[in-house]
Amino acid sequence: MSSSSLQWLSLVGAIWLQSINGTNSNFPAYSSQLKQLLSISQLQLNNLAFASDAGKLFGWLSGIAAVYLPLWLVLIIGAFLGLVGYGVQYLFITNHISSLSYAHIFLLTVLAGNSICWINTVCYVVIIRNFPVNYRQVAVGITTSYLGLSAKVYTVAVNAVYSTPTKRAKAYLLFNSVFPLVVCVIAAPLARGINNVGNLRRTKGGLIIMFVITIATGIYAIISSFGSVSKRLAPLNNLIGTATCLLLPLVIPLAVKIRDALTGDWWLNRETRVHSSVVEENIIGVEGLENEVKEDEHLSHDQNSEEAMKAEIGVKLMLQRIEFWLYYFVYFFGATLGLVFLNNLGQIAESRGYSATSSLVSLSSSFGFFGRLIPSLLGYFFSRSKYMISSPASIAAVMAPMAAAFILLLNKSNIALYTSTAIIGVCTGAITSISVSTTTELFGTKNFSVNHNVVVTNIPVGSFLFGYLAALVYRKQGHNEDGKCMGMECYRNTFILWGCFCFLGTFLALILYARTRKFYSQRYFTR
């Protein structure tokens, strides 16, 4: 098989891995049933949501493993961690294991949350190795967008197989443990670098086709989500449609394979000669990745910017920068707050008397998919345009409607619930995607892996603080014997506080934009 075919197959493998890797994102779809099955309070349920995010605190372990172990083995280890974390919980709620305490379930949830980091690490490393410097960020953005589709994939699969809420709660845990393992085994042979990243012109054409496929997938996801809400789309048909969308990216490697078969070895030899210099970029290990990052920086438009050179800093110096703390709290009051809302979506829908929680989760996942994709799409087509705005300005523009969505939730209509969920989903996904480039732009690429892990520590912190606040308000308003709260007052004060926090984050994003405006103007001027 030619290197070009392997290049696109590795991208398809990363898409499949990301589409099943967001196992924590479907937690709200079964959280209410899990609360009932385990006989736990709202505070304890909130702690389980926090435990899943807390697994990210140990994500650095996967980075170390990637240095010393082959990528396919790192992938399998991640799948095995998820199998244990979710599988043991499944055996417990199906009465195959009867000796688990709440502390055991908490630790198993942390383990399951950590498994996501291992699979993510492999996806990023494979894409970085197998795509040219010019298109790596675009390829990473495409694959990352499918992570936002993960909850949709699981919800569609569960609804197609099971009909009752109790069975669905158990099925989520079963699928969370099995799906990643199956897909990791399938994708393991593709988790490696190739000897040639291929023709730049053909790579660009392939990415355009991939954009079309990805956008079509997102449109179908949204339409089918509304179809699920209105019960006009049969679960089995929805499953078939979603599976077809995930198989569509195979069109590109198949087309490349047919082209190579028709052109013969002459083209492959010519391609190898023309692009032999690119082979040097595909270096195995962390040193190779660091060298590639340095080469990226050298080749980028920032090479003439004195400010960009100053931005190449480590963690210690980064923590001393005002820009870092502004950025940290912007993320804290933006993407992290959005994730907390999505984690509590099950209880929010239940308190409003809305039973089709899985459809809401599918809707938020579909819009989150587009939210993650849009920054890459705009960056690809407008990176050299005078209309391209800076990352801090983009985040501020995204957070403003997100803050308004929290206030809209004070309206008790289902339309307000659908609209707010969609807005928060797309804005959370967009901020998550923009943050990757923001970290490299503000603090450099050399220490990106460490710097960005410091930035995202606000996710478990915010998950605990915001989630705990919502749980306290929920418990205070609950009047039933089982502590369940029904009515708009259950989350009214929470929505007001979350909306105010998000408006505060928008204001901080504007301050960050003002402080970095000169830097970004020099950055874009030197393009």
**Amino acid identity of 227?**
G
For 114-163, the pLDDT digits (tens) are 999 899 888 888 887 788 766 777 887 888 889 888 888 998 898 888 87
How high is the pLDDT of residue 309? Answer: 37
> Cα separation of 451 and 313, whole Å?
9
How high is the pLDDT of residue 483? Answer: 64
Q: How buried is residue 230: exposed, middle or buried, by Cβ count under 10 Å (0-12/13-18/19+)?
A: exposed
For 323-356, the pLDDT digits (tens) are 899 999 999 999 999 988 988 888 888 888 877 6
How high is the pLDDT of residue 268? Answer: 42
Alpha helices in 283-343 (DSSP H): 286-299, 306-310, 315-318, 322-332, 335-343
> Cα separation of 268 and 7, whole Å?
14
> Cα separation of 468 and 486, whole Å?
18
Question: In terms of Cα–Cα distance, which of 325, 352, 365 is closest to 508?
Answer: 325
Instruction: For residue 520, give Cα distances in angstroms to 104, 341, 433.
Output: 48, 32, 18
Give the position of tokens 């490393």.
Answer: 125
Please give the structure tokens belonging to residue 417: 């619930």
Lowest average pLDDT, out of 103-112, 142-151, 286-295, goes to 286-295
Contact 233, 224 (CB under 8 A): yes
Instruction: For residue 495, give Cα distances in angstroms to 80, 105, 155, 214, 348.
Output: 38, 29, 26, 33, 10
**CA angle at residue 244 from 243 to 245, to 5 degrees?**
90
**Amino acid identity of 196?**
N
Average pLDDT over residues 186-199: 77
Please give the structure tokens belonging to residue 260: 């190579």
With bands split at pLDDT 50, 70 and 90, how would you rate the model's confidence at 229? low
For 390-432, the pLDDT digits (tens) are 888 889 999 999 999 999 999 988 899 999 999 999 999 899 8
Contact 421, 225 (CB under 8 A): no
| Residues in the chain, overall count | 527
State which H helix or E strand residue 64 sits in: helix 60-68
> Cα separation of 379 and 501, whole Å?
28
Q: Enumerate residues 6+ apart whose C-beta is below 8 A from 79.
A: 115, 118, 119, 180, 181, 183, 184, 185
For the four alpha carbons of 351, 356, 361 and 364, in that order, the dihedral sign comes to: negative
3-state helix, strand, coil in the chain (%, to 5): 80, 0, 20
How high is the pLDDT of residue 245? Answer: 92
> Cα separation of 23 and 174, whole Å?
11
